[in-house]
Amino acid sequence: MKNTNYQTGWTTIAWVEVKSNSTYGFIDEFKCEKSGKKLEEESLFITRTNFKHRGNETDELKCYNRAHSPKKYEKVWMDWDELKKEKKEEINQILKEYNIKQPCG
């Protein structure tokens, strides 16, 4: 999800980050913004930047575990769940097509 307000200059981007594939090398240090607990394997990341400000001193990065994610980002989780479902179906179809006996759950 990406949203830009051209009057204020703020751009908000939200996505689900998977720890094992994370681009953040120190993701194990991150904590949920709301609960204060360590991040789960899949977590919601929200970044806000302002193109009207110089430098990155006003940039924000917030992380949430699923149970503590803000309600307005529920669609990000729904889209993520749908994408995972589609990919699992695609993998299972390939397994079936090539007669590979390893179920993908």
In a domain, 35, yes or no: yes
| Residue whose entry in the numeric block shows the structure tokens 């681009």 | 23
Share of the chain above pLDDT 70, in %: 97
Q: Which amino acid is at 73?
A: Y
Could you tell me the pLDDT band of residue 103, with boundaries at 50, 70 and 90? low
Domain membership of residue 33 as a residue range: 2-70
* Mean pLDDT value across residues 17-38: 94
Could you tell me the pLDDT band of residue 10, with boundaries at 50, 70 and 90? very high
pLDDT of 39 reads 97
Say which residues have a Cβ less than 8 Å from residue 62's Cβ, sequence separation at least 6.
33, 45, 46, 47
Sheet with 42-50, edge to edge strand ranges: 2-4, 10-18, 42-50, 60-65
In a domain, 13, yes or no: yes
Q: Which residues pair with 13 in a beta bridge?
A: 2, 47
pLDDT of 53 reads 84
Which has the higher per-residue pLDDT, 76 or 23? 76
In a domain, 64, yes or no: yes
In a domain, 95, yes or no: no
